[in-house]
Amino acid sequence: MRERPCGDDFSLSGRKIMHTRIVVRRLVAAALLIPSIFVPSSALAGYREDMRATSIEIAQLPTFCWAQFEVPDAQGDEFKIRGCGVAVNHYCPGLIYLIRGKHSGAKGKALPLIQHADLDVAYTERGIADAPKCSIREHVEATRAEVDHLLRIYGGKPARAK
């Protein structure tokens, strides 16, 4: 019988070790990947990147949206929504959809964007219903009127807050 050198990868124990290393690497890779699956991409990349919001679109937003869209040096209270609860995180992205819908030339492109804004405004309206000191209540009411007007023009139906 012929002896094999210690470093021979073709031995049974060498194959087991290689297989174990491959399995461990795959498990580690999966463990690193799984948390990112359960976290929305907007939380990882920020709203600006997730929505591909341009600087021109962000400049058209009210200043209380700037912190959410990570405008540099927008760190004071005037750059944040205050006293409205957690459901207002949809409002500023909804305004981006509204801006895009208003600047879209064709009805077929504008209506889905305005409908998306409508859903985000309705979500916000439900969220601030029990927040009497919400800092953006009047802005939300004005946006609701604008969205409803645009939906009537483009033939859509508003999603009413319930």
Q: Give the mean pLDDT per block of 10 residues along the chain (162 residues).
A: 52 68 60 42 49 88 91 88 90 96 85 95 94 94 96 78 46
What is the Cα–Cα distance from 16 to 117, expressed in whole angstroms? 57
- Predicted structure pTM score: 0.67
**CB of 53 closer than 8 Å to CB of 96:** yes
pLDDT score recorded for residue 46:
54
Amino acid of residue 94: G
Radius of gyration of the chain (CA): 26
CA dihedral 97, 101, 106, 108 (to 10 degrees): 50
pLDDT score recorded for residue 49:
61
pLDDT score recorded for residue 157:
74
